[in-house]
Chain A
Amino acid sequence: MCLAVPGKVESIFEADEMTMGTVNFGGVVKEVCLALLPEIQVGDYAVVHAGFAISRVDETSAEETLRTFQALQQSPLQQSPDQH
C-alpha cells in the first residue's frame, strides 16, 4: 500500500463536506481526497496514498533534480577530476 506514483489533478470538488478531486495516473482516473492539500490546484501533480493526496510535486525541484542527473550524463568518465 506504500507504492505510490504521482498523478495529475484534473478536477476539484466538494462531496460530503470534503474536498475531493479526480487524479489521472497515466490514464487511470481515480477519485481522491484532497482535504490534506489545501493549496493544490487543477494541473498540479500529487502523490497519493490510500486515496489521499499527501504531497504536491514541486516542478522546480523536479527540474533541478533532472538537471543534476543530466550533468552527470554529460561529464565523460575519463575527464572527471577524480579519475586518473
Chain B
Amino acid sequence: MKHLTEYRDGETATRLADQIARQVTRPWAIMEVCGGQTHSIIRNGIDQILPDEIEMVHGPGCPVCVTPLEVIDKALAIAARPDVIFCSFGDMLRVPGSEGDLFKVKAAGGDVRVVYSPLDAVKVARENPDREVVFLAIGFETTAPANAMAVKVAHDHHVNNFSALVSHVLVPPAIEAIMNSPGNRVAGFLAAGHVCAVTGYSHYRPLCDQYKVPIVITGFEPLDVLEGIRRCIIQLESGTAELENAYPRVVTEQGNVAAQVLLDEVFETTDRNWRGIGPIKQSGWRLRDAFRNFDAEFKFDVSAIATRESTLCRAGDVLKGAIKPNQCDAFGKQCTPRTPLGATMVSGEGACAAYYNYGRLVPLAAPDANVTGRA
C-alpha cells in the first residue's frame, strides 16, 4: 500500500536504530504521547531495537483509556433507556464502567449500535424520528472535527432527536500536566501527528520554551516513530529544546483550517477529568451553549452517578508512565482484553492491550523480524 509499506521496511529500521545508538551517550526517557504510537512501538518491537539508554514511556493519548469513568457510567445509564438508540465507536463497547459495559447493556436489551462515523448516528436519528439517538462523542483533536460536524448537521437540519454525550480531551494540556507532575522523568516528547494535522502546531512552541523540552511531531509507522526518536535524541544530546515536524507529509504548521473553524463554532474549552490521571484544567472541549439542545447531558438527567473503579487496576500508573503494563499484578491474569479491569486493556491503543496482544509476557523473537515482513 502506498504511503504505508515504504515506512515499514525492516532494514531501514535497523539503520535508523543504529543512527540513534551512535547519538546517544546517556539515559533518556522519551514519551510517545499517542496510543497509536504506543501500539506501533510494541507491535514492531521498536523499544527492543533501541539502545538500552532510551526508555520509551507510554503516554496518555488513548481516548478510550482516558475517557472519565463518570462519562462511561452516564453512557451506560442513557443506553439502558428504552426510548434511546445509543451509538458509539466500536472500541468503547468493552470499556468497563462502575457496573458493566455497553456490551452488557446491549445484552440486556439496550439498543446499542456501533457506527464508523458520527454522521451515521445522525442518519440513524433521521430514520428513527420517534426515538432519541445519542452518540458517545469522545476522543482527542483527531476525532473532534467528525463529532463537531455531526452536531452541526443535526443542529442545522433540525434533527432534534439527536444528541451527543461529549467528552473531548486535548493533547497540549496533558503534556503540561506531565511536565508539572512531581518526579517527572520525561525529557522529550513525540507529539501525535494526526492531532497536529487538525490543529497545526505553532501552539506547541511555548511548551518547548517553558519546559525546556524537545517536542517532535511524529507519525505512526515504524520508520516514522524511529525518525521521531532519532530527532528527539539529537536534540536531547545537544541540549536544544525545539519543536520539530518529522511528519511533514501529513502535518503542516497551520493544520486543517476548515476543521479549526468548525471546532471553534461548536466547542469551547473546559476542565476535564482524565480517567486514571485526574482533573486537568482547560484540557477538554464541550459543546457551546448554542448547541445545548444537542447535548445529551442536558437532555437526560444523569447527574447523580456514583462511580467505582476496580481496586486491582493500576491504569493510572500505566498512563502516567510510572509502571509498564506487565508490572501490574492483574496483567494477563484477572485482566485480559476479554475481561478488562481497566480501560487501558480495551482498545489496541491502550498500553495494557498492546503489551498483551504482542506477547510482552514472554521474550520476543528477534526484533528485526518484527519490523520486517508485515506490510
List 12 extra interface pairs beyond A2-B349, A3-B39, A6-B250, CB under 8 A: A2-B34, A2-B143, A16-B153, A33-B119, A36-B149, A36-B262, A45-B3, A47-B250, A59-B249, A64-B248, A65-B248, A69-B227
CA distance A55 to B220 in the complex (A): 14
Interface residues of B in 317-339 (CB under 8 A from A): none
Indicate which residue in A4, A51, A72 contacts B118 across the interface (CB closer than 8 Å).
A51
Pick the contact of A2 from B2, B61, B116, B251 — CB < 8 Å?
B61
Chain B min CB distance to A62 (Å): 4
A interface footprint on B22-48 (CB within 8 Å = 1, 0 otherwise): 100000000000111001000000000
The residues in A between 30 and 45 inclusive whose CB is less than 8 angstroms from any CB of B are 30, 32-33, 35-38, 45
Cβ of A54 and Cβ of B117 under 8 Å apart? no
In this assembly, does B139 line the interface, its C-beta being within 8 Å of a C-beta of chain A? Answer: yes
- Sample (19) of A-B pairs whose CB atoms are under 8 Å apart: A1-B139, A2-B34, A3-B220, A3-B348, A4-B194, A5-B1, A8-B2, A33-B146, A35-B258, A37-B256, A49-B146, A50-B116, A50-B147, A51-B119, A55-B194, A55-B197, A62-B3, A73-B11, A80-B22
* Bitwise interface map of B from 128 to 159 toward A, beta carbon under 8 Å scored 1, else 0: 00000000000110110111010001000000
- Encode B167-209 as 1/0 by CB contact (under 8 A) with A: 0000000000000000000000000101001100000000000
Chain A residues, Cβ within 8 Å of B6: 66
Question: Contact: A55 with B250, CB < 8 Å?
Answer: yes
Number of contact residues on B: which range applies?
35 or more
Residues of B within 8 A of A8 (CB): 2
Q: Which of B13-21, B73-81, B272-280 has 4 or more CB atoms under 8 Å from chain A?
A: B13-21
A62 to B118, CA, bound (A): 30
Q: Dominant SS at the A interface?
A: mixed
A82 to B198 Cα, complex, angstroms: 38
Are A2 and B248 also in contact (CB < 8 A) when A54-B194, A54-B256 are?
Answer: no
- Asked whether B249 lies within 8 Å of A57 as measured between CB atoms, the reply is yes
**Residues of A in contact, count (CB < 8 Å):** 43
**Interface pair B36/A26, CB less than 8 Å apart:** no
Query: Given the interface contacts A5-B4, A73-B12, does A55 sit within 8 Å of B118 by beta carbon?
Result: no
| Contact assessment for A1 and B4 in the assembled complex, using a CB-CB cutoff below 8 Å | no
A79 an interface residue at 8 Å Cβ cutoff?
Answer: no
Find chain A residues with CB under 8 A from B291 CB.
none
Listed from nearest, the 5 A-B pairs whose CB atoms lie closest are: A51-B117, A50-B146, A55-B197, A62-B249, A61-B249
Residues of the B chain whose Cβ atoms lie less than 8 Å from the Cβ of A64: 248
**When A35-B149, A47-B250 are in contact, do A2 and B4 touch as well, CB less than 8 Å?**
no
User: Quick one: given A2-B63, A36-B256, are A26 and B249 in contact (CB under 8 Å)?
Assistant: no
User: How far is A77 from B219 in the complex, measured between Cα atoms in Å?
Assistant: 26
A6-32 near B? 1/0 per residue, CB < 8 Å:
101000000010100000011000101
Which of A4, A49, A50 gathers the greatest number of chain B CB atoms within 10 Å? Answer: A50
Contact across chains for A72 and B15 when beta carbons are under 8 A apart: yes
In the assembled complex, which residues on chain A have CB atoms less than 8 Å from the CB atom of B197? 47, 54-55
Q: Are A51 and B348 in contact (CB under 8 A)?
A: no
Which of B16, B22, B149 has the most A CB atoms < 10 Å from its CB? B149
- Report whether A72 and B19 are in contact in the complex, using a CB–CB cutoff of 8 Å: yes
Check: B103 CB closer than 8 A to any chain A CB: no
Closest B residue, CB atoms, query A65: B249
Return the chain A residue nearest B347 by Cβ.
Answer: A1
- From B1, B15, B89, B223, contact of A50 by CB (8 A): B89
A57 near B3 (CB under 8 angstroms)?
Answer: yes
Chain B residues near A59 (CB-CB < 8 A): 249
| Given A47-B197, A72-B12, A73-B12, residue A54 in contact with residue B145 (CB < 8 A) | yes
Expressed in whole angstroms, the Cα–Cα distance for A73 and B61 within the complex equals 32
Chain A's nearest CB lies how many Å from the CB of B212?
A: 25
Q: Which residues of A contact B19 (CB under 8 A)?
A: 72
Contact status A69-B36, CB under 8 Å: no
The reply to whether B258 and A2 contact each other, CB–CB distance below 8 Å, is no
B120 adjacent to chain A (CB < 8 Å):
yes
Q: Is the CB of A38 within 8 A of B249?
A: no
| Minimum C-beta distance from A38 to chain B (A) | 6
- Asked if B262 and A2 make an inter-chain contact with CB atoms under 8 angstroms apart, the answer reads no
**Across-interface contacts of B249 in A (CB, < 8 A):** 57-59, 61-62, 65
